[in-house]
Chains A and B, each alone.
Chain A
């Protein structure tokens, strides 16, 4: 990163650590001071390629290669319109052809090959597929949904884990204290030999440690619906006797919920 510099005033990151490089739509970088100097009026031309630029379109250069910066800018714009997902196509082949076409469009614009023609094509596509574009704008692809689901799961697990660890520590502290007290009591009042008592305590503690295996399970439907506190509010809470028999109020809640949404899968023509 040190060897990057402004092409106009030749300052480098090495000489001026606070150097800030900016780029505009044409993909050529300029440092902040040069931008201030050149674009006093708010607009001007790029010193490298002569494209007319606006000052407020400059933004901080994120990538080392300004070319990539430009490409991603273009890509974002095009993907906004060409937003069909894999699910919108009948076959995988069609989808593959479609994404290849997008790729070609981007490639042409970025590398200045038939720019006008390409832009026309894009405009035409926009006009023809207006509805589709608006519909697809906020839709997420399957992959994205999958990733988001995973990330959410992760968050949930980590919060659970944190809680669990705190509890575990507390419990361990308590049990240690208890054991110590019990041991001292026994040593004070029992008539057995001290060694026996010590050994017995040791085995007791070992046994207890073995028994304790951390289990973590979140209640979840096979469909992925999560059981929130809200649902449980409308369910009769289980009495102590019922709990003793293994019944929990969330079981009933889950069944009721499933019943409620089961109808969605009823397709008359299949019957």
Chain B
């Protein structure tokens, strides 16, 4: 259908549209017009992706000078594939409507070498890092130079032919998913990975993972040259602050340091060898360094695997300090730094320190100043290139140390060093770890906000919305949350706060071991197993809590009762085991036997796996999934948030717990024809501060009467709900209410009604 969104003609590839999709597009258009950032929350299963794509493509078509590019970031490869599929669908519709006149759009997905490589030898590797290393071994510029001299040196034929012909030949317009890229590469004999990486500079739509934009090490290589007039979309962005923080944090263990020692020994041997046979090369490197790093380092794309983390520009322009200019001096310097790190790791109790005091101590102990530390990462890169090392992967420990050195000397604020002598669980075994932890999510994402004109942050669960601009430090032009318009009440959220014996149900630390609480949780599960058809998914707050509870249930005979009704599956920390459990769970649901899956909030199941329709008719949330509050890193971050952004500890903890709870219960409902029960089994969920942080589309249906139920009452409510849902439901019922045609959309009163249903923040 063709829509008129605030004067913009939008082609929408479906015959019907959800009201909230229409509103979503309106909001999006506003922020595109204003060239500002926005945060939008819309329930999952209401077609966020297609609304985003169709509006932005239409906008690009109408204003080709204002917006030239769409960068769509998602989390996992299956999600990328979904986006590409939607995009194809949209382009097909354009073709069908306009024929030849359709906009010329090149859209492509980019993923790691592991998913794109077509070299028969390299692509057999399973581990992503190995693939990268093997690829580098075949495509690095010095390897290829050697190949010219000596034909027995192996190179990648795909890369060679791409380099010879592929660069001049732009990718024909169209939409390329990962498979299409591989196919095209095979047909032409080009390397799909480098083809895609080259093509993203002129592609109109790029779909890739968060990390290509947020992790400074990768962004520097991949996304550096993207144009400013781009729209960046972060989908499923409810965890974006954690992604930002992770990409800037570094963990160093004793083993890392031992490996560094090996790396340094290896490097010094290499240098000695080079000195004996080809001293000229070291000299030219030295000359280059004297002149300054950057102009000598014209990024040859295959060599920049070990790129540097974000550095202020002035450092990049300056020459490398004299005391690490020659190779031997640099190695001596690294040795000293390494020894210093070793004595730092030899601690008896936990140390928490800021970067400045670390640097001061470093100067006093081993006479290392701040300035040469800042150049560490760059200097190591240059050295690796000069030595023509092929196995870059082997030197990952040393490059990690260098990154750490660069970061610690660059950022005085927003980071903390925490050295723990042992794991909290095993206090007798010495296992020192140095966490260099980023506390400010805005550091990693700041370049993105600064560079691109519009950044859209969107997800199904982004409540409370006002928290995100604060922790990411940006100013949105619009922030809005959309609810789901439903023709029938197909979600049934409830807070179960007590058992039949009136004992309060809570996962509070003091009472979680209480037999009565565990029994009541068990009863709740048994009762629901007997009334809910097909699949039930349960979430616990942690693996440890799940283990102890399940053990207690076993003793109390509750598991036997559960198994009378349904099969039982458990998520474990092992990924392979979990996916097997999931597979069998789905099988059990498929053949009508019904199953229960016990899993953990923040685990693999809670993020990214959908339990639509019969896979999840009920979700039970046992307790509030607070993060482990005793961790030193978390404490440091909370303190930082309070000082810097005036966010109180409790507010942040509740916010974090509630967004995970919302993620978990949101798994059950993936569309408007779906239905599901959402049980919050903890009395604390009924409190105003928690309840208000549940996404609005769930909150709407969480009436006061459903907020303080006992197990019995909950069962009654659910029974009634399930009976209602079992009635036949067709598209005609939805039309006009939750599904609109163009004519309906144009009516004035619908528009008014829609406006009243949206909420700005």
Q: Are A147 and B323 in contact (CB under 8 A)?
A: no
| Residues 404-452 of B contacting A (Cβ, < 8 Å) | 412
- Supposing A64-B339, A144-B363 touch, asked if A154 and B356 sit within 8 A by C-beta, the answer is yes
Interface presence of A100 (CB below 8 A): yes
Cross-interface CB contact of B318 among A92, A99, A104, A150, cutoff 8 Å:
A92
Alpha-carbon separation in the docked complex, A102 to B335 (Å): 17
> Which of these binds chain A: B176-184, B325-333, B630-638?
B325-333
| Residues 329-371 of B contacting A (Cβ, < 8 Å) | 329, 332, 335-336, 339-340, 342-343, 346, 354, 356-357, 359-360, 363, 365-367, 369-371
Q: Number of B residues contacting the other chain (C-beta, 8 Å)?
A: 36
Alpha-carbon separation in the docked complex, A65 to B354 (Å): 27
Q: Are A154 and B354 in contact (CB under 8 A)?
A: yes
Main secondary structure of the interface of B (DSSP, over half): helix
Cross-interface CB contact of B360 among A68, A103, A148, cutoff 8 Å:
A148
Alpha-carbon separation in the docked complex, A103 to B363 (Å): 16
Q: Are A147 and B336 in contact (CB under 8 A)?
A: no
Alpha-carbon separation in the docked complex, A141 to B356 (Å): 15
Q: Are B370 and A64 in contact (CB under 8 A)?
A: no
Q: Are B356 and A147 in contact (CB under 8 A)?
A: yes
Q: Are B371 and A143 in contact (CB under 8 A)?
A: yes
Query: Of all chain B residues, which has the CB nearest A215?
Result: B646
Query: Of all chain B residues, which has the CB nearest A98?
Result: B322
Q: Which residues of A contact B357 (CB under 8 A)?
A: 151, 154
Alpha-carbon separation in the docked complex, A141 to B363 (Å): 12
Q: Are B646 and A65 in contact (CB under 8 A)?
A: no
Chain A nearest Cβ from B37, distance in angstroms: 24
Interface presence of B26 (CB below 8 A): no
Interface presence of A214 (CB below 8 A): yes
Q: Number of A residues contacting the other chain (C-beta, 8 Å)?
A: 39
Interface presence of B642 (CB below 8 A): yes
Interface presence of B643 (CB below 8 A): yes
Interface presence of B476 (CB below 8 A): no
Alpha-carbon separation in the docked complex, A104 to B323 (Å): 9
Q: Are A151 and B322 in contact (CB under 8 A)?
A: no
Q: Are B360 and A100 in contact (CB under 8 A)?
A: no
Interface presence of B319 (CB below 8 A): yes
Q: Which residues of B contact A62 (CB under 8 A)?
A: 343, 365
Chain B nearest Cβ from A108, distance in angstroms: 11
| Residues 364-417 of B contacting A (Cβ, < 8 Å) | 365-367, 369-371, 412
| Residues 176-211 of A contacting B (Cβ, < 8 Å) | 202
Cross-interface CB contact of B322 among A63, A99, A144, A214, cutoff 8 Å:
A99
Interface presence of B321 (CB below 8 A): yes
Q: Are B339 and A68 in contact (CB under 8 A)?
A: yes
Alpha-carbon separation in the docked complex, A76 to B323 (Å): 15
Cross-interface CB contact of B319 among A63, A72, A92, A154, cutoff 8 Å:
A92
Query: Of all chain A residues, which has the CB nearest B335?
Result: A68
Q: Are A150 and B412 in contact (CB under 8 A)?
A: yes
Cross-interface CB contact of A103 among B319, B329, B642, cutoff 8 Å:
B329
Alpha-carbon separation in the docked complex, A72 to B362 (Å): 12
Q: Are B342 and A102 in contact (CB under 8 A)?
A: no
Alpha-carbon separation in the docked complex, A21 to B343 (Å): 15
> What are 14 A-to-B residue pairs whose CB atoms are below 8 Å?
A1-B346, A64-B342, A96-B319, A99-B322, A101-B322, A103-B332, A104-B329, A143-B370, A147-B356, A150-B412, A151-B354, A154-B356, A213-B646, A214-B646
Q: A63-B342, A147-B356, A150-B356 are in contact. List 4 more A-B contacts (CB 8 A).
A: A72-B366, A72-B367, A96-B322, A103-B329
